[in-house]
A and B are shown apart, each in its own frame.
Chain A
Amino acid sequence: MKPIIAAPLLVLLTTLALPAHADRYSVPKNAAFEEECASCHMAYPPQMLHADSWRAMMGDLSRHFGSDASIDEKRRVAIADFLVANSGGRKTGNTRDAQGRPLLRITETARFEKKHREISAATWKRASIKSPANCTACHTQAAAGDYDDRSIKIPK
Chain B
Amino acid sequence: MRHLLVIAAAIFTVSAHAETPRDFLTRFEKEAGAAASAERGARFFTTKQGGEWSCASCHTDKPTQAGRHAKTDKAITPLAPAANAERFTDAAKVDKWFRRNCNDTLNRVCSAQEKADVMAWLLALR
Contact = CB atoms under 8 A, between A and B. Distances in A.
Interface stretch (B19-27, B38-46, B69-77, B80-88): B69-77
B100 A137 contact: no
Contacts, number: 35
Contacts of B71: 65-67, 131
Main secondary structure of the interface of B (DSSP, over half): helix
Contact of B103 (A41, A68, A137): A68
A130 interface: yes
Interface in A56-94: 62, 65-72
A interface residue count range (under 10 / 10 to 19 / 20 to 34 / 35 or more): 10 to 19
Question: How many residues of B sit at the interface, in one of the four size bands?
Answer: 10 to 19
A71 B104 contact: no
A42 interface: yes
Interface hub of A68, A131, A137 (most chain B Cβ within 10 A): A68
B103 A40 contact: no
Contact of A68 (B72, B73, B99): B99
Nearest to B103: A68
B73 A40 contact: no
Interface of A: 39-42, 62, 65-72, 130-131, 133-134, 137
22 contacts: A40-B69, A40-B72, A41-B69, A41-B72, A41-B74, A42-B74, A66-B71, A67-B71, A67-B100, A67-B104, A68-B101, A68-B103, A69-B100, A71-B96, A72-B92, A130-B72, A130-B73, A131-B72, A131-B73, A134-B72, A134-B73, A137-B73
Interface of B: 69, 71-74, 92, 96, 99-101, 103-104
